[in-house]
């Protein structure tokens, strides 16, 4: 009997998709359903860490305005991070694609405020250059 690549059965896999949080999720860019950037994944909400019901699961991605803590270090206050339910994640790849539109996300209020109050007042700030 000779051994080939198909001689051994595949190892059993747990149901669902197994992701490495640091490698596949943290600091990844978030894109809305139209492909527009809406932020980055700053942290995760994880459930089932202390239970014996199986592996822990990501329940939400946390995003927000945490530039100051990225520059000077430390943890951003939990109040600065907005959760995006894991159910809104459509695809995880080089970016994290969401199934919701950017206007539906509450985490973008700062960007919307800046766009509406400051950027549109700059000459050429109302649209892309032709």
Residue 118 has a pLDDT of: 80
State the total domains in the chain. Answer: 1
Domain, as residue range, for 42: 21-121
Q: How confident is the model at residue 97 (pLDDT cuts 50, 70, 90)?
A: very high
Q: pTM for the complete prediction?
A: 0.66
> What DSSP designation does 21 have?
I
Is 38 contained in some domain?
yes
- Residue 3 placed within a domain: no
Residue 5 belongs to a domain: no
Q: What's the pLDDT at 59?
A: 92
Contact 58, 21 (CB under 8 A): yes
Cα distance between residue 120 and residue 72, in whole Å: 31
Q: Residue 128 above 70 pLDDT?
A: no
- Domain assignment present for residue 106? The answer is yes
Mean pLDDT for the stretch of residues 90-104: 87
Beta strands in the chain (DSSP E): 29-31, 37-40, 43-47, 57-64, 81-85, 89-92, 96-98
Q: Which two tokens stand for residue 56?
A: 């822990």
14 within domain boundaries: no
Say if 2 falls within a structural domain. Answer: no
Is residue 50 a part of any domain in this protein?
yes
Across all residues in the chain, what is the average pLDDT? 78
Domain assignment present for 10: no
Give residue-wise pLDDT tens across range 36-49: 888 888 889 998 88
Per-residue pLDDT, averaged over 61-84, amounts to 79
CATH for 83: 2.30.30.240
Position 110 scores a pLDDT of 65
- What is residue 12's predicted lDDT score, i.e. its pLDDT? 67
Question: Does 121 or 69 have the greater pLDDT score?
Answer: 121
């Amino acid at each position: 009997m000779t051994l080939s690549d198909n001689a051994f059965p595949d190892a059993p896999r747990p149901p669902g998709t197994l992701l490495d949080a640091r490698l596949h999720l943290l600091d990844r860019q978030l894109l809305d359903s139209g492909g527009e950037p809406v932020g980055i994944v700053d942290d995760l909400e994880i459930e089932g860490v202390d239970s014996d019901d199986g592996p822990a699961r990501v329940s939400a991605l946390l995003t927000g305005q945490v530039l100051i803590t990225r520059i000077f270090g430390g943890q951003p206050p939990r109040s600065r991070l907005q959760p995006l339910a894991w159910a809104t994640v459509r695809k995880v790849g080089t970016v994290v694609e969401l199934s919701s539109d950017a206007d539906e996300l509450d985490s973008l209020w700062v960007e919307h405020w800046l766009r509406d109050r400051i950027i549109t007042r700059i000459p050429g700030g109302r649209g892309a250059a032709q």
